[in-house]
Amino acid sequence: MNTFASDPRVVITGLGAISCLGTGVGAYWDGLLAGGGEPQAIPLPDLNMRTKKMYLVDRADVPAEPSSHAGVELGSSPRLAVAAAEQALTDAGVRDEARAAVPVVLGVELGNSDMQELQRSAGRTTWTTLTPVAAVVGAAIGSRAAQTSVGNACSASGYALTIGLDMIRAGEASTVLVGGAEGATRAGMGAFNRLGAADPLRCRPFDRNRAGTMFGDGSAMVVLEAAEHARRRGAEPYAELAGAAWSCDAHHATAPDPSGDQIVRAMSDALADAKLSSTDVGCVIPHGTGTPLNDVVESQALRRVFGARVRELPLFSLKAMIGHTTGAAGAFACLTATLVLRHRQSPANIPIDQDPECDVWVPQERPVPLAAPAVLVNTYAFGGNNTSLVVKGVVREASQWSP
C-alpha cells in the first residue's frame, strides 16, 4: 500500500559520481562544461585487439577498499560503486541510522570481471560471483533492505531506475539508492572488438566517420525518494523522476530494429507516464553509442516523437564525453539530466562532422539554455532492451523555462 498517495511524486535528492572527469558531482559537471574526457590506454597486459583505449577513471581515484566481501576479492567496479554511493547518500542527507531501510538497485553488466581476469591469469580455476556489487554496496552503507542487481546489458541501470521508481510508487520503500558501476575489463573490450563495434579513436556519436563505440569506467548513483518523505525531513530535491517505460523489439541479438518502433514506444510511454507532452522536453540525452546503425535509428525515432521540432531540440551526446559506461550508462545519463535541470542548460557537445542521416540538433558551439521543464533519457541494449526516462524540474512555472 502506498503511504505517500497524497503526493505520489518520486524525487532525486542525492547524487554521486566517479568518472574520467574526476571524483564528485562538481568535478563531473565542470568536466562536461570543459568538453569531457580523453581516451587513455587501458592499463592491462595482453590486449591483443584493435581498440585499446577507454575513457578511464584516473587510477589514483579508484578506491583501494573494500578489497573483499564475504570471501570474494573485489575489483574496481564494486569499489567505485561504494564510493559513489557514499557521495549520493551524504549529499541527500541520509544519515547512518536511516540507511538500514534503504534498498539498493544497481545496473551492473561486467561487475567483478576485472578481478576474475586477474585471478584466471594467475592460474586460479575457481570462479567467484560475477556481480556482487549491489551486495557490497548494501553492506558498506549498512542496508538491511533488498539488494538487487540488474544485468540488462547497456540499459541495466536504466532498468534499475525504473525498478526504484516502481518500488517507491508502490509504497515498498520511501528511499531507494539506484545506480550503476563498471570497471575496465578485457571481456567487454574483446567482445566489441570481435563484433567490429569498437572505435579506435574515440566515441563519436552522430559523426559521419563514427566506427563504433568506446567504453568508459566509473560509477553514478542517485537517491530516489518519495516527495512527501523528502519534505518531512527537510531535504531539497534536485529534480523529479517523473516517468519511465520499457520496451523490447527482440529483433536481433546485437543490432537494433531498423524500424525503431519499440524505441518510439518507450519514449512515448515514458512521456505518458510523466503526464507530459513532447513539447515539455527541453533536452534529450540519447543512447547515442557511435555505432553506425544505432545512431541513425535513434535519430529517426526522435523525429517520429518530436516532429520537425527535433531540429530545435538540443541533444547532449554524453558518451562522447565519458565513453560508453555500459551497465552504468543509464545512471550517468539520469544524473546528467538532473544536473542539466539544476543548471538550466545543456553543455556544448564535442565537435563532430555530423552525419546527414542523423538529422538531429547536436549543438557544439556553446551551452544551450533549457527552454522546457523536462529532460528525456534513452538507454538501449543488446537484445532490443530499451528504456526511456523523464526527469523533470521541481519548479514548473513557465516563466522559469524561457531561454
pLDDT band of residue 307 (cuts 50, 70, 90) is very high
Rounded to an integer, what distance in angstroms lies between the CA atom of residue 150 and that of residue 398? 37
Flag whether pLDDT at 403 surpasses 70. Answer: no
Please state, rounded to an integer, the average pLDDT across all residues of the chain: 93
pLDDT band of residue 5 (cuts 50, 70, 90) is low
124 vs 86, which has greater pLDDT?
Answer: 86
Q: pLDDT tens across 266-292, in order? A: 999 999 999 999 999 999 999 999 999
State the average pLDDT over residues 357-378.
97
Using a cut of 0.75, tell me whether the model's pTM lies above it. Answer: yes
Q: pLDDT tens across 25-44, in order? A: 999 999 999 999 999 998 88
Q: Looking at beta carbons, which pairs linking 163-168 to residues 24 or more positions away fall under 8 Å?
A: 163/105, 164/103, 164/105, 164/224, 165/10, 165/224, 165/241, 165/244, 167/103, 167/105, 168/4, 168/10, 168/224, 168/225, 168/226
pLDDT at 188: 81
Q: What percent of the chain has a predicted confidence (pLDDT) above 70?
A: 97
203 vs 130, which has greater pLDDT?
Answer: 203
* Residue 31 cell numbers, joined: 568536466
* Sign of the alpha-carbon dihedral angle for 332, 328, 216, 355: negative
Contacts of residue 87, Cβ cutoff 8 Å, sequence gap at least 6: 14, 15, 16, 17, 18, 24, 25, 221
Q: pLDDT tens across 309-336, in order? A: 999 999 999 999 999 999 999 999 999 9
State the average pLDDT over residues 83-110.
96
* Residue 343 cell numbers, joined: 543548471
**What domains are defined for the chain?**
10-232 (3.40.47.10), 244-401 (3.40.47.10)
pLDDT band of residue 399 (cuts 50, 70, 90) is very low
State the average pLDDT over residues 210-226.
96
Kindly give the pairing relationship between strand 218-226 and strand 10-19: antiparallel
Rounded to an integer, what distance in angstroms lies between the CA atom of residue 244 and that of residue 260? 18
Q: pLDDT tens across 344-364, in order? A: 999 999 999 999 999 999 999
Flag whether pLDDT at 46 surpasses 90. Answer: no
